[in-house]
Amino acid sequence: EVQLVESGGGLLQPGRSVRLSCAASGFTFGDYGMHWVRQGPGKGLEWVSGITWNSGTIGYADSVKGRFTISRDNAKNSLYLQMNSLRAEDTAFYYCAKDISVDSNTLYYLDYWGQGTQVTVSS
C-alpha cells in the first residue's frame, strides 16, 4: 500500500524558514517523480513544486520560486521542501504527492497523496 506521510509543519513567523519532509513507502520511491501541492484557507489546490525521479528536472510555481527548494533522498525514501523567507500567503495545508512518471524527465499527474501538514505563517 502506498503511503506518504508529511511532517515538519507548524506556526512560524514571517521571514523564518522551515523544512517539510515526506516519508514514502509501499512503492519504489526512487523510480517516481514527486510533488508538493498546497491549499490555502478557503482556496483551491495550488501546485508548489515537482521533482523527477533522479532530481534531473525540478519545477516551481512562480509564487515560491527563489524561496522554496525541493529535494529528495532516494536512499531514505524521502521528499523535502525547504521553505525560506516565509510569508503570510504561504499559510496552507501542504500535501506531498506521487506522480505517475517512472524514470522520466517530465511529470504528469498525481496518483497518490499524503494527508498533509499545516504551515501557518503569522507574527
Partner 1 sequence: EVVMTQSPATLSVSPGERATLSCRASQSVYSNLAWYQHRPGQAPRLLIYGASTRATGIPARFSGTRSGTEFTLTISSLRSEDFAVYYCQHYNSWPPLTFGGGTRVEIK
User: Where do contacts with partner 1 occur on this chain (CB under 8 A)?
Assistant: 35, 37, 44-47, 50, 59-62, 95, 97, 100, 106-116
Residue 30: CB minimum distance to partner 1, A: 20
Residue 122: CB minimum distance to partner 1, A: 22
Residue 38: CB minimum distance to partner 1, A: 11
Report the residue number, 16 or 28, with the smaller CB distance to partner 1: 28
Q: How far apart are CA 120 and CA 53, in angstroms?
A: 29
Report the residue number, 7 or 123, with the smaller CB distance to partner 1: 7
Report the residue number, 46 or 54, with the smaller CB distance to partner 1: 46
Report the residue number, 13 or 67, with the smaller CB distance to partner 1: 67
